[in-house]
Structure 1
Amino acid sequence: MNIFTNNADFYPTPDEVINTMMMSEDFVGKTILEPSAGKGNIVDWLKKNGAGKVIACEKDTNIKKLLNGKCDIIADDFLTVSSEQISHVDYIVMNPPFSEGAKHILHAFEIAPAGCTIIALCNSESVNQGWERNATKEKLIETIELYGCKEFLGRVFDDAERRTDVHVSLIKLYKEGEGQDEFDGYMFSNEKDSLDVNETEGLVQYNVVRDMVNRYISAVRLFDETMAAAEKINSVACFGGKSDGYLPVRFAVVDASNSVVHISRQQYKKELQKYYWRRIFGKLNMEKYATQKLREQINKFVEQQTYVPFTMHNIYQVLNMVIQTTGQRMNTALLEAFDLICSFSDENSTAGEKWKTNANYMVNRKFIVPYMTSYDPKWPRDYLYLEYGGMVNRMEDVCKALCFIMGRNYDSIGSLDRFVRDNNLEWGKTFEWGFFKCKGFKKGTMHFEFKDEEVWMKFNREVAKQRGWVLPKKKSA
């Protein structure tokens, strides 16, 4: 059977794309709806990775046969599904038809129960403003701005089972409660909910998390009261419907540039949510030992997380994730530091110019780093001066990686840039910073030497262990 016949919208989702869609999601044991299941790629992935129950829709009668035995089919056409039919689902995960993706995503958000997360792929054109007016597209864009986020993925179906060069975006929407039920589930309701708190107490104290969530909820509710008070003042102050000169009260906020900005309730709620998430991540200090590349990844994760509802459950889910991935992040920083030193010069490692392809090699105890210093004979400087935008930050990354494996606090060492500026160091003279003896030259290079042989060897051993290398044994004197 040719499953692609007469179905221009059928593009089975590759596993690597589903991995991206579900990254960091707490879906294990949950009930999930797949509204355009196709032959079941997403259904299969969810079941294989721990979803509790998967239900689905599929309109194509031929393709639907491939779903037999995989999941329960609740309807043919997803657009006919009502909120009552899916009141029990925790997630809606979808790769809807590209030709009407916006319509499907909006319907999913409309019928989703409170607390449900919608994760969807769509043609990027569906979420980009164009010259032509399109009410459905405009509504989807507004919904994303108020209730979720989007991420441009690019041409992720280039090498798929069925190929297309369509640019694809990932949409995440978070359905919230309304009225008195709006903040249901934001706080832990009993001690059983907080069993994992002790494990994360060292990162952010339990009472601090509870206080932050309480403040967030209270601020949103006070926003409502303030808006209601403003309306009441205006209704009382305006006599006989004559509005000339009666000085109506208007409610606004002041942004970072000290400008007065009029804002809706949902906009305020979302911005406050982002503010509190950043306070949480500020306390975690995840960037302390991160390299430049790792910092970029962390910043992307933080930005994505700020769109997730600010509940105690979600906060502790993030805290647990931080604990579980700390070693992985630090090991990544270590490997990046090692490769960085090797890349500067063939003389920096025992592999020489073949460091990219060789194995079982070490960083030399002495190594040279280019683009570290700046000197212009026209405007000579008496003291060592570091090059702006050079390799200084990268060498500070190396120091952070060494702090991790040696159990030292990077704050006790401080940045190389600050050390050089504070100490009036001479050109070509040896000075000590962190784990190194250093010497800066006017031609732009800086020479580094590990002060402690044990630190040097441990650095090489840790990298070798991660890469499965066998380093040469130390020669006896």
Structure 2
Amino acid sequence: MFTDNKDFYPTPKHLIDKMLFDLDFNYINSVLEPSAGKGDIVKALEDIKKPIHQYGRNKYNFDIDCIEVDQNLQHILKGKNYRVVHDDFLTYDTMKEYDLIVMNPPFSSGVKHLLKALEMQERNGGGIICLLNAETLKNQFSNDRIILSRKLEEYNATIEYLQDTFLDAERKTDVEIALIKVQLPTVQRHSFIFDGLRKAAEQKEEYINTEDTQIAENNLYKSIVRQYELEVQAGINLIKEYNAMYPLIMREFGKDAGTGETIQKGGCILSLDLSRNKDKYRNELSVNNFIQEVRGKYWTALFNNPKFIGKLTGNLKTDFYNRIEDLKNYEFSLYNIYELKIEMSKKVVKGIEETIIGLFDEFSHKHYWDKDNSSNIHYYNGWKTNKSWYINDKIIIPLSGFDSFWNKYRPTDYKVKEKLQDIEKCFNYLDGGLTEAVDLEESLKFSEEYGETKNIVLKYFNITFYKKGTCHITFTNPELLKKFNIFGSQKKGWLPPSYGKKQYKDMTPEEKSVVNEFEGEKEYNKVMSDTKYYLFDGNSMNLLEDKTA
């Protein structure tokens, strides 16, 4: 692990204890570890949070974000269920506030990392604990080092030089270390309402133009991220303005018991809370709670956007939608959007294959007991079994386009529409975008409006609904249906392992017998002439590619 990452020096336990010693965690709600490595510092922080006894509450309640640039280490952190919110700390851009940044950054770029941490904490105040190569502070040969020393002096940082701290570590070094602890003061904010009244008229036109610019963005993801950033910044300004206004707009005047001076008291006239947050125990008006709720709003909006999740099946949509609460802890950024797309793409291949097999089963043996459904399949003698079949070009499934309660034809019912969409999505993956699009939802709306129950034309098949609760499907693309049957039969193990790999003339008599039963020599030769089309390989497809984004 160490040979590939020359800057990775895991922090030994005794040094972590020294770093965290004398911190008062009663005043720490959020922590950032921007060079998390394999999570040694994070583990120490998590241990501090552990309950006092088995059924007790956590001794301290704070959340921890991690950043790590090394992908191998990222996997380790995620495997430990630590929250990795970004890869490179130097490019991390967030409006979230951290009460504490604790880090052991790469020695080669320690100055830049500490300057970045100082820049973040200068916005709102907060603590920093950092390990640096002592030479960084003792030998000020660069502008960055000079600026860093001035800032540490300005904020009255404590610096302790330590010898031999890494001699018994996982990765040893005799470099002298500087342990830096600095607490930046909370930024004092003043109300801009009274001072800003005379400027309001001038700023109104500028604000409207800015808003219009945001709406006019063409790129989906960049546009929505910019809109998120605008909303968060506006909300943060409002919260901080409210906090600054609070002592100036209280309910009543009264006398101070000690001085006799007239003061405002009795609580604030105005109320500001997180109306989206239904949990009364987490309804505290704070910047971080507000950011969490806005993140949830935008992640939800993204999952409701067809351009983002349009290719997911119903089950996968539900799985990802159920992660909204966890995603509130992750910055709504291009980095995290594309990380999520990568994860979705990996799951889509597995999910779509499972859905295709589910449809293969549903179209065949699942409803074999019904005399109408028995015509769905054609039996053949498969590889090592005589219980094999493929789907015919006309099938019947139990799917009602009629609302029995209202006695009304309703093919646009959610369950009907989602089922047909899932079938279409499976064939979309198999088709690879070769077939001209037909708007399924519009076709169903047209059918409902005009009461057309028969031969409704969709992208890959026509459908007819019957009042007894069945749907007749006629596939209109025989080659795609053939591809579907090959996929299902291969996954079931009903075709020889050599199928699609060996020419017919080179097959054994046993292999030829199965192929003859399944499709015949002529059709098999057609497969061999275009295996790229007939033998589906989901891993070679960019399943979530969005050409409009």
TM-score where L is the length of structure 2: 0.47
245 and 319 in structure 1: CA distance in 2 versus 1, 3 angstrom threshold = closer
Instruction: Give 1:297's match in structure 2, choosing from 313, 319, 322.
Output: 319
- Preserved CA contact (<8 Å) 2:295 2:327: no
What is aligned with 1:345?
A: 364
5 Å-filtered alignment, 1:47-86, equals: 74-76=12-14, 79-82=17-20
SS at the partner of 2:474? strand
Give distance in 2, aligned partners of 1:263 and 1:183: 22
Q: 1:309 aligns with which of 331, 335, 341?
A: 331
Cα distance change of structure 1 residues 318 and 337 upon mapping to structure 2, 3 Å threshold: same
Structure 1 position 369 matched with structure 2 position 307: no
Find out whether 1:456 has 2:481 as its counterpart.
Answer: yes
Displacement, 1:367?
2.0
| Structure 1 residue matching 2:391: 3-state secondary structure | coil
Given that 1:440 and 1:446 are in contact with CA atoms closer than 8 Å, whether structure 2 keeps it comes out as yes
Inter-partner Cα distance in structure 1 for 2:470 and 2:356 = 18
Match of residue 421, structure 2, among 374, 396, 412: 396
Answer yes or no: is the 8 Å Cα contact 1:251–1:262 preserved in 2. no
Structure 1 segment 118-157 matched on structure 2, within 5 A = 126=51, 134=57, 137=58, 139-140=60-61, 143-144=62-63
Map of 2:468 onto structure 1: 443
357-366 vs 389-398, greater mean Cα deviation = 357-366
Q: Which amino acid aligns with 1:457?
A: K
Instruction: Note closer, same or farther for the CA distance 1:88–1:412 as it changes in structure 2 (3 Å cut).
Output: closer
- Output the CA distance in 2 between the equivalents of 1:292 and 1:183: 46
* Selected match of 1:425 from 449, 452, 466: 452
DSSP 3-state at the match of 2:255: coil
**CA distance in 1: counterparts of 2:352 and 2:360, whole angstroms:** 13
Aligned in 2, Cα 1:433/1:402: closer, same or farther, shift over 3 Å?
A: same
| CA gap 1:266/1:210 in 2 versus in 1, 3 angstroms | closer
Is residue 2:264 matched to residue 1:272? no
Q: Corresponding residue for 1:105?
A: 46
Question: 1:79-110 CA distances to partner (integer Å, 9 max, x unpaired)?
Answer: 555389x97733563799xxxx9x85164x8x
Tell me if the contact between 2:330 and 2:336 (Cα under 8 Å) persists in the aligned partners. Answer: no
- 1:342-401 per-position Cα deviation (integer Å, ceiling 9, x unaligned): 23432544568999x99996433222212435576xx894x6456978665323211123
Pairwise CA distance, 1:271: 1.3
**Contact 2:296/2:324 (CA < 8 Å) preserved in 1?**
no
Task: Give the Cα separation in 2 of the matches to 1:138 and 1:464.
Answer: 57
2:235 matched residue in structure 1: 219
Q: CA deviation at 1:247?
A: 7.1
SS at match of 1:448: strand
Taking a change above 3 Å as real, the CA distance of residues 283 and 375 of structure 1, as seen in their structure-2 partners, is closer
Pair 352,247 (structure 1): closer, same or farther in 2 beyond 3 Å: farther
TM-fit CA distance, 1:282: 4.8
Question: Unaligned 5+ residue runs, structure 1?
Answer: 1-43, 57-72, 110-121, 150-168, 185-200
Does residue 229 in structure 1 map to residue 249 in structure 2? no
Change (3 A) 1:277 1:388: closer
User: Deviations 1:98-155 (Å, cap 9, x if unpaired)?
Assistant: xxx9x85164x8xxxxxxxxxxxx8xxx59996x6x4xx1633xx35xx679xxxxxx
- TM-superposed CA distance for 1:412, in Å, is 2.0
Q: Give secondary structure in 1 for the equivalent of 2:12.
A: strand
1:332 aligns with 2:273: no
Q: Residue 255 of structure 2 corresponds to which residue in structure 1? A: 240
* 2:378 and 2:389 in contact (8 A); partners too: yes
Aligned counterparts of 1:380 and 1:280: Cα–Cα separation in 2: 35
Distance, in Å, in 1 between the alignment partners of 2:235 and 2:84 is: 22
Please say if residues 396 and 416 of structure 1, whose CA atoms lie closer than 8 Å, have aligned partners that are also in contact: no
Structure number, greater radius of gyration: 2
How far did residue 308 of structure 1 move? Answer: 0.8
Which of 234, 251, 269 pairs up with 1:249? 269
In structure 2, the CA distance between the partners of 1:55 and 1:366, relative to structure 1 (3 Å rule), is: farther
Amino acid at match of 1:181: M
Deviation by residue 1:391-441 (Cα, 9 ceiling, x = unmatched): 653232111232343526877221776455333135xx4433332222223
For 1:375 and 1:439, how far apart are their aligned partners in 2? Answer: 15
Aligned amino acid, residue 437 of structure 1:
N
Secondary structure, aligned partner of 1:439: strand
Which of 87, 90, 93 is the matching residue for 2:39? 93
**Structure 1 pair 441/202, CA: closer, same or farther in 2 (3 Å)?**
same
8 Å Cα contact 1:290-1:330 kept in structure 2: no
Q: How far apart, in 2, do the equivalents of 1:128 and 1:337 lie?
A: 49
Coordinate RMSD, CA, aligned? 5.4
Matches of 1:238 and 1:265 in 2, distance apart? 29
Q: TM-score, normalised by structure 1?
A: 0.53
Is residue 2:207 matched to residue 1:286?
no
Within 2, Cα distance between the matches of 1:204 and 1:458?
Answer: 34
Change (3 A) 1:138 1:324: closer
Pair 1:412–1:183, CA change in 2 (3 A): farther
Alignment check: 8 A CA contact 2:438 2:458 kept = no
Distance in 2 of aligned mates of 1:52 and 1:87? 19
Q: Which residue pairs with 2:210 in the alignment? A: none
**Residue 233 to residue 391, structure 1, CA distance change in 2 (3 Å):** closer
8 Å CA contact retained: 1:369, 1:446? yes
Report the CA distance between 1:294 and its aligned residue: 1.4
- Residues in 2 aligned to 1:268 and 1:51: alpha-carbon distance in whole angstroms: 38
Distance 1:262 1:212, change over 3 A: closer
